[in-house]
Structure 1
Amino acid sequence: MKQRAYAKINLCLDVVYRREDGYHELEMIMAPVNLYDTLNFEFSDELRLHSNVPYLPLDRRNTIVKAIELLREEYGFKENFEITLQKHIPTQAGMAGGSTDGAAAIRALNKMLRLGMDNEKMVEIAKKVGADVPFCLRSRPAFVTGIGENLEHFRVHTPFYLLLVKPYKGVSTKVAFETLDFSCAEHPDCRKMRQALIANDYEGVLQSLGNTLEQSAFKLVPQIATIKRDLLGLGFDGALMSGSGSTVFALTRDPELLEKGAAVMRKKAAFIRKTELRPQEEPGWMNRSHQ
C-alpha cells in the first residue's frame, strides 16, 4: 500500500506560555505544502525498513516504527511489514518530516489490517507518536492549539507561491523551546492569519506572518536570519521560519521571482524547493507543479 506523506509549514506560530506539565501551549496555522515523502507498505515475516536516507534509526526513535508498535500494543496484531521510504523532506527542518511519515504508517495499517479506527481514534494514537502527527493524518490547513492535538480545519482561498530554503545546519526542537525567553517573546495573531487565508486577503497573510521560535532559532543557527533577510532583499513579499526551523519559506505571486530566488539561494543553502500549498479542489487554485 502506497502513501504520500506531505510536509507542512507554519504560517503563524505563537508559543503562548510554558505549561506546568513541561509542554508549551501553542496557537498555530499549519498548512501542507506540495512536497512529500513516499512510503510503500507490504506484509512481511519481520519488520523491515528501507530508505534512501541511510542514517534513519530503526527503533522507536523512528516515528514509523513507533506508530506500528503503538498500534500493535493497542490491537494485538501479529503481522509485520516491509516498508520502503523515499525521503524528500529534509530533517530538522520544521516541516514535520518525521511526523508525517508516522501519520502515513497509522493510515496504512488502519487500511491494511482493517482496524476500523475513526478519526478520533487515529488522533489518539497519533498524539502518542508526536505533537505534529495529528495534523499530518489529514494534511489539511488547520488552526492548531494545545500542544498540537486540537485542530480546526479550514479552506484556504489565498493563492501564492512558496520558496523553501533550508540552511546546512538544523535546529533541535527541544533546544529551541528550552532557550525561548518569554520576557521578550513575540506573539503573532494566528486568528488573523486564518481569517486572511480564508478571505483571499494576501496583504493580510503577509501582515500576519509570525513565529515566536525565530527568537531562539536565530541565536542557535544565525544563517536562518541571514536567509530570511536575503529572501526579503530579493523582493519576496514575506518570509518566515517554519516551526522550530531551520527552513525559511518566502511568499510571492510572481513566478519569475520564484525562479530567480531559487537560482540565487541554491548557492547558499542545503535544500531549495519551489512549491505552493498542497492543491485543494478549488476553482482558480494555483496547482501547477514546481518539483
Structure 2
Amino acid sequence: MKHSIKAPAKINLTLDVLHKREDGYHEVEMIMTTIDLADRIELTTLKEDLISIESSGGFVPSDSRNLAYQAADLLRNKFGRKDGIHIFIDKQIPVSAGLAGGSSDAAATLKGLNQLWHLNLTTKELADIGAEIGSDVSFCVYGGTALAKGRGEIIRQIPAPPPCWIVLAKPTLGVSTADVYRQLNLDGVAHPQTEIMINAIEQKDYNLISNTLGNVLESVTLQQYPEVNHIKEQMDRLGADGVLMSGSGPTVFGLTLHESRAQRIYNGLRGFCNEVYMVRMLGEPE
C-alpha cells in the first residue's frame, strides 16, 4: 500500500525568546505560517520489519537521525506495529534553512501513517506525539498559521494572513539552531510585538504585518554570518515590503503584494545566491 502527502515549509513572522527554562529549553513565542514550497512524502508498506528512508536530495540522513524516520519509529513503538515502512522524501525545501523542512517531513509522516495504518488519531494527538520529536513538529502537524508557545509545542491556530508573494533566499551555509540559542543574549534585545502581529493578521492588514516582522535570533545569526545580513539589505533595496530571517536562519524572506516586484527581487538575488525561491503564502491548513 502507498500513501502520498505534502510537507509544506514554514516561515516565522515573529520569533521571540522569553527566557531559558529549567529543562534547558527556551520559552518561545512565535507566529508561523506555511508557504507554497513543499516536500512530498511517499509512504510504502513493507513486509519486512524495518524503516527505510530514501530522498531525492543530498545531505538528508537515511537513518535514525532523520526526523521522518523518528516519526515512523515512534508510532510503531507506541502502537506495537510490526509493519515495515519505506519513506521516500521528494526534497524541495532546502536543508538546515530555518524553514522546518525536517519537521514538516516528520509531521507528514505522522499524518500519512495515521491514515495508512487506520490509527484514527486526532490532529491534537498527532501534534502531541510530534512534540516528542522536535519543537516545530507540532505546528507542522496543524499547518496553516498559528501562535506557538512553550518550546513550540503549545499551538493556537489563528486566521491566515492576506495572500502575498514571498521570495526566499538561502546562502550556501548551514546554521546550528542549538548554537544560536546557546549564544543568544536577551539583555537589551528588541522583542517582536507578537500581539500586534496577531491583530494585524486578524485584520488582514498587510502593511502592518510587513512592518511588525521580528526575530530575536537575528541578533546572533546576522552577527556571525554577514552574508545573511547582506541578503536582508539586498531584499530591502530591491523593494520588498518586509524582510526577515526565518527561524535560526540562514534563509531570509521578503514579502510583496505584486508578482512583478517579486520577480524583480528574485532576479536581483539570483546573481549572488544559488538557492532563491519565489512562492505564495499558504496560511491555511492543507
Q: TM-score, normalised by structure 1?
A: 0.93
Q: Is residue 2:141 matched to residue 1:125?
A: no
- The residue aligned with 1:39 is 41
Q: How many residues align?
A: 281
Q: Of 102, 111, 115, which residue of structure 2 is paired with 1:107? A: 111
Assess, with a 3 A threshold, how the Cα gap between structure 1 residues 100 and 157 changes in structure 2: closer, same or farther.
closer
Q: Which piece of structure 1 moves more, 184-193 or 234-243?
A: 184-193
The residue aligned with 1:20 is 22
Other structure's SS at 2:267 match: helix
SS class of match (1:188): coil
1:98 aligns with 2:129: no
Q: Which residue of 1 aligns with 2:173?
A: 169
- The code of the aligned residue for 2:177 comes to T
User: What is the rounded CA distance, in whole Å, between the counterparts of 1:201 and 1:114 in structure 2?
Assistant: 41
Residue aligning to 1:263: 267
Give the superposition deviation at 1:280.
Answer: 4.4
Residue from 2, 5, 15 that aligns with 2:4: 2
Cα distance in structure 2, aligned partners of 1:120 and 1:260? 41
Contact kept in structure 2, 1:158 and 1:198, CA below 8 Å: no
Question: How many Å separate the matches in 2 of 1:232 and 1:55?
Answer: 31
Look up the equivalent residue of 1:143 and give its one-letter code: L
1:182-239 CA-partner distances (Å, limit 9, x unpaired)? 1132211112111101102122112211000001111222111110011101111110
Counterpart Cα distance in 2 of 1:53 and 1:158:
32
CA distance in 2, matches of 1:256, 1:245: 26
Alignment of 1:115-264 (within 5 A): 115-264=119-268
The answer for the alignment partner of 1:48 in structure 2 is: 52
CA distance in 1, matches of 2:174, 2:4: 29
- Gaps (5+ residues) in structure 2? none
Identity among equivalent pairs (%): 35
Matched to 2:252, the amino acid is V
Distance 1:140 1:214 in 2: 24
SS at match of 1:245: coil
The DSSP-based 3-state class of the residue aligned with 1:22 is: coil
**Structure 1 unaligned blocks of 5 or more:** 282-291
Specify which of 69, 74, 79 is matched with residue 73 of structure 2.
Answer: 69
SS at match of 1:129: coil
**1:82 alignment partner AA:** H
The RMSD of aligned alpha carbons is 1.4
For 2:125, what is the secondary structure of its paired residue? helix
